[in-house]
Amino acid sequence: MKLRVLFFSVLTDITGTGEVVLEMPRESASVADLLVRLFDRWPRLREWDRSLLVAVDQVYARRDAPLHDNAEVAVMPPVQGG
């Protein structure tokens, strides 16, 4: 399954990119599975694990949410007001 993963704010500094296309090896992957893969690729992301917000196709998603082929997954730090 192919996913388009978007990073925002400080996460772009950690990953060095605002967007990446990833192939997930399983057809039944969840948000949690994707995060494990991202943490393996960019270990510094793990520091943000407890506060990351994730949206799938522009809808906030829990970690147990299933992913689907060609999903757009946004990974964001906590939202701060101003």
pLDDT above 90 (res 51): yes
Please check whether residue 39 lies inside any domain of the structure: yes
Using alpha carbons, list the distances in angstroms from residue 33 to 28, 47, 67, 72.
9, 17, 9, 15
Radius of gyration of the chain (CA): 12
The domain of 18 spans: 2-76
- Domain count within the chain: 1
CATH number, domain with residue 55? 3.10.20.30
Please check whether residue 67 lies inside any domain of the structure: yes
Quote the pTM value. Answer: 0.92
Mean pLDDT of the chain: 94
Q: What is the mean pLDDT of residues 32-46?
A: 97
Please check whether residue 81 lies inside any domain of the structure: no
